[in-house]
Chains A and B, each alone.
Chain A
Amino acid sequence: MITVRGLRKRFGDLEVLKGVDCEIRKGEVISLIGPSGTGKSVFLRCLNLLERPTSGEILIGGQPLLDPATDVPALRRRMGMVFQHFNLYAHLSVLGNITLGPVHLLGREPAVAAARARELLALVGLAHKADAYPDQLSGGPKQRVAIARCLAMDPEIILFDEPTSALDPTMVSEVLAVIRNLARDGMTMVIVTHEMAFAEAISTRVFYMDGGEIHEEGPPAVIFGAPRRPLTQAFIRRIRRLTFQITDDAYDLYALNGEIERFGARHVLPPKTIEDLLSLVEELLALQPSRADVRLELAYAERDGRVEVVCSARGAPLDVLAPGSAEDDLAVRLVRGRTEEVRYAREGERNVSTLLVRAAR
């Protein structure tokens, strides 16, 4: 239902989109992933002409969007959009937000529109908030209202522009759950997101954008599991794994903890698991006889729900986690108590400990 050919967008001297081609069919759920600043949001905003492309062609249900004769507002009515910052109408109640479009654009009776709005609010779990005002809601509910507002227009497709990026981590899952339900019901959607696990789980196809173009596309299993092109591979590795290099005793524990927390948030790990990882890594580093060259790697395997922690340290052969090996036996017990499995290997001049932590679901 959407065909894009040779789409280019330039802001002054900066060419953000350098020729995007794609085809989006009815019922598809497309995730747009990729590093920041590669034009994912701009591409999405070109699809409903919030940004005017410099050149190229966009067909919505066969109608050329860029043709001056096209009734753009009419086309937009068929395409909903959910924004990163919700953009609810501040002067209207939740119900007013949802009914404004149907009443003014679709000519619905206010009572009919209100009844439908209440159904949609029930669908996103906010039936009790119909009379609240946007500034009385926190981020998660706001975004769910925004989704209900889109649905009220009976759109054929919904564009999501980083719908969870502005949310408190505790509220991400409630919004994702609503989007997941829409996917199950067969809604056509294009989602720009940094929630990789979510993208992998609900997408029918994933577009990896880099350098102003769709660098690689394919089913989620391929893009996340076995990407073909080097840039995609590097990106997937980067988001899958957290690597941290330590070169002396005065390493920045807070920076490391920050990265672990972000890693956890990215993979939607429960707070309990993140806490375990934090203390586990700290103990593990404390147990090392030398911190002159230690490399830490964290990876999350979605399939079995486990986090793999690899600690590779240069030095004389030593398994710091072997029972009774260290003076601080309590620390060893603490680490082992939080892991499901511990392996030790000697690789060249390095001692490699591999720990598997099951995510507390």
Chain B
Amino acid sequence: MLLTALLWVAGARAAEPEKLRGLEDLTRARIALVAGSSHDEHVARRYPQAQVLQFKATPDVVLAVSTGKADVAFLALESVREIFRTTPNLAILVPEAYRSPMGGAFRSDDTTLRPAYNAFVRGLRESGVFEAMRERWFKDGARDLPPLPPRGSGPVLRMGITASKGLPWTGVRNGTFTGFEVELAERFAASLGRPLELVDLDVSGQIAALASGRIEAIACLLVMTEERRKRVAFSDDLLAFVACVVTREDRIAGAAPAAATAPQAGLPLGERIRANLVDEGRYRLILEGLFVTCVISVLATLFGTVFGGVVCAGRMSPRPLLRQMAAVYIWCLRGVPVLVVLMIIYYVVFASFHVSPILVAAVAFGLNAAAYIAEMLRSAIQSVDRGQLEAGVAGGFTRAQAFRLIVLPQALRQVLPVYKGEVISLFKMTSVVGYIAVQDITKAGDIIRSRTFDAFIPLLVTAAIYLVLAWLIAWALERIELRVTPPHLRQGMGVAS
């Protein structure tokens, strides 16, 4: 422990990092980029010796560079202006590392939507609206959607976007999606006479969602890489994507050495809190996220508990087949990470049904919890000595009555302390639902980060909310525990503190 601390301190005081001059210095650099983005392919091809740090979303990439975890980052040139507003210690090292066409993406077997999209874009260019949009978002730095043509009333058009990409592409303001891509998608849907539903997915999840039929098209503009062309059919070129290389200001050759500072460290704390929580109604995102987290947790707990009881009954059944099935179920669900279960259910099981992802999450976490709860219940039931059941039966109760009146109350009391732990862990595990486009608290924090590029406040607030809620759950379950404990055993029972 001490050694680690010493090493860390020593590392922090390591010699001044080398200055960077241009692309030639990237050969062995630590390069941060968004996983699954076009940079990924480019860097792998051009700088095979570089150390690539893959992040889930743009804000993480920005943070990695500004805190010195990475030497440089590959970003879209258009995103940089917005990023520099909030993270002033960054600078552009190379304004154009490479250039590549971008466009919307459709299923490879699509025959109707893609031609319609191409025709729509052509029309947009001819009428001059496309150029106006570019001016507005990329040059003037617009942040809100303009008045849009009315929404149609046909069947819903589901398109994928990535809110964490940030403005001017896509962002969240006042609780709604905004940005160039959003406006384009809205206009496209209106041209089809269909209402639009945007599904927020990470860049790396877009193509999988398209393949599974969860979305009909990808509205967030993708760079047309070779790899992607094999998987999807792209629209005609829409824009040229310009990738730039960003690094910390003080790392650029010739710049004065500056103290390493956290992003926005210059801003007073009150300002930062305001920027992260109040501006653009961001607290609403957190509140909505909190609500979603609670809904998923409650549903998953209920479902997991009931289904856990069913699995436990199977596990203790006199019929070998049922016992086997329950054992296999428990074995599987305890051996596979819940996140993988979640994605399997979302992308595979429910691929072609449009079930609310919140429900999918509740089912996935419930299935996972059920496996654990079943085993807890089983060991609790087995811990009640058989003699009591026998005494009940000998006294005239049926086996079911004896179980319900004698064994179950004792088993439930036994199981409560471990059950409490399981519920809290389930509650915390729900933080991964962002993977299937559910906006829970964690995801809300991510979205805020993608606008403010401040890691500290959103993560801290998120952590504090989890902490308080976990404490509340523990407190509530301990009240129940206390109520079912005979008075003479209550002493020394801790109340969550």
Q: Does A83 contact B (CB under 8 A)?
A: yes
Chain B 357-412 residues near chain A, CB threshold 8 A:
384-385, 387-388, 390-398, 401, 405-406, 409-410
Residues in A whose Cβ lies below 8 Å from that of B413: 91
Chain A 138-178 interface 0/1 with B at a Cβ cutoff of 8 Å (1 = within): 00000000100110010000010000000000000000000
Residues in B whose Cβ lies below 8 Å from that of A132: 488
- Cα separation A115 to B353 with both chains bound (whole Å): 61
Q: Does A85 contact B (CB under 8 A)?
A: yes
Nearest opposing residue in chain A for B389, CB measure: A87
- Cα separation A354 to B396 with both chains bound (whole Å): 54
Residue pair B396, A74 in contact (C-beta under 8 Å) = yes
- Cα separation A85 to B391 with both chains bound (whole Å): 10
Q: Choose, from A1-9, A61-69, A100-108, A342-350, the stretch at the interface.
A: A100-108
Residue in B391, B393, B397 with the greatest tally of chain A CB atoms within 10 Å: B391
Residue pair A77, B395 in contact (C-beta under 8 Å) = yes
B387's partner among A76, A87, A93, A104 (CB-CB below 8 A) is A87
Given known contacts A73-B397, A104-B397, A105-B397, A89 and B392 CB-to-CB distance under 8 angstroms: yes
Q: Taking the nearest CB of chain B, how far is it from the CB of A68, in angstroms?
A: 15
Chain B 122-156 interface 0/1 with A at a Cβ cutoff of 8 Å (1 = within): 00000000000000000000000000000000000
Residue pair A81, B394 in contact (C-beta under 8 Å) = yes
Residue pair B486, A87 in contact (C-beta under 8 Å) = no
Interface of B is mostly: helix
- Cα separation A214 to B388 with both chains bound (whole Å): 29
Residue in B384, B385, B406 with the greatest tally of chain A CB atoms within 10 Å: B406
Given known contacts A104-B405, A133-B486, A76 and B396 CB-to-CB distance under 8 angstroms: yes
Residues in A whose Cβ lies below 8 Å from that of B387: 83, 85-87
Chain A 87-120 residues near chain B, CB threshold 8 A:
87-91, 93, 100-101, 104-105
Q: Taking the nearest CB of chain B, how far is it from the CB of A253, in angstroms?
A: 38
Residue pair A153, B395 in contact (C-beta under 8 Å) = yes
Residue pair B401, A104 in contact (C-beta under 8 Å) = yes
Q: Taking the nearest CB of chain A, how far is it from the CB of B487, in angstroms?
A: 8
A105's partner among B384, B391, B396, B489 (CB-CB below 8 A) is B396
Q: Does A136 contact B (CB under 8 A)?
A: yes
Residue pair B390, A50 in contact (C-beta under 8 Å) = yes
Chain B 476-497 interface 0/1 with A at a Cβ cutoff of 8 Å (1 = within): 0000000000101100000000
A90's partner among B392, B393, B396, B410 (CB-CB below 8 A) is B410
Residues in B whose Cβ lies below 8 Å from that of A74: 396
Residues in A whose Cβ lies below 8 Å from that of B394: 48, 50, 76, 79-81, 83, 159
Q: Taking the nearest CB of chain A, how far is it from the CB of B385, in angstroms?
A: 8
Given known contacts A83-B391, A91-B413, A101 and B396 CB-to-CB distance under 8 angstroms: yes
- Cα separation A105 to B387 with both chains bound (whole Å): 19
Given known contacts A50-B394, A153-B396, A91 and B488 CB-to-CB distance under 8 angstroms: no
Q: Taking the nearest CB of chain B, how far is it from the CB of A328, in angstroms?
A: 54
- Cα separation A146 to B388 with both chains bound (whole Å): 11
- Cα separation A93 to B488 with both chains bound (whole Å): 11
Q: Taking the nearest CB of chain A, how far is it from the CB of B386, in angstroms?
A: 9
Residues in A whose Cβ lies below 8 Å from that of B390: 50, 83, 87
Residues in B whose Cβ lies below 8 Å from that of A50: 390, 393-394
Given known contacts A100-B405, A104-B401, A104-B405, A89 and B396 CB-to-CB distance under 8 angstroms: no
Residue pair A133, B488 in contact (C-beta under 8 Å) = yes
Residue pair B410, A73 in contact (C-beta under 8 Å) = no
Residue pair A80, B486 in contact (C-beta under 8 Å) = no
Q: Taking the nearest CB of chain A, how far is it from the CB of B410, in angstroms?
A: 5
- Cα separation A146 to B391 with both chains bound (whole Å): 9
Residue pair A76, B393 in contact (C-beta under 8 Å) = yes
Residues in B whose Cβ lies below 8 Å from that of A80: 394-395
Residue in B384, B395, B398, B409 with the greatest tally of chain A CB atoms within 10 Å: B395
Given contacts A79-B394, A133-B489, A146-B391, 11 further A-B contacts (CB under 8 A): A50-B390, A74-B396, A80-B394, A83-B394, A89-B392, A90-B410, A93-B486, A105-B396, A105-B397, A133-B486, A153-B396
Chain A residues close to B by CB (< 8 Å): 48, 50, 73-74, 76-77, 79-81, 83, 85-91, 93, 100-101, 104-105, 132-133, 136, 146, 149-150, 153, 159
For this complex, 8 residue pairs linking A to B, each with C-beta atoms less than 8 Å apart, are: A73-B397, A77-B395, A81-B391, A83-B387, A90-B410, A91-B409, A91-B413, A104-B405
Closest 7 CB pairs of A and B: A77-B396, A87-B391, A87-B387, A81-B394, A76-B396, A91-B410, A91-B409
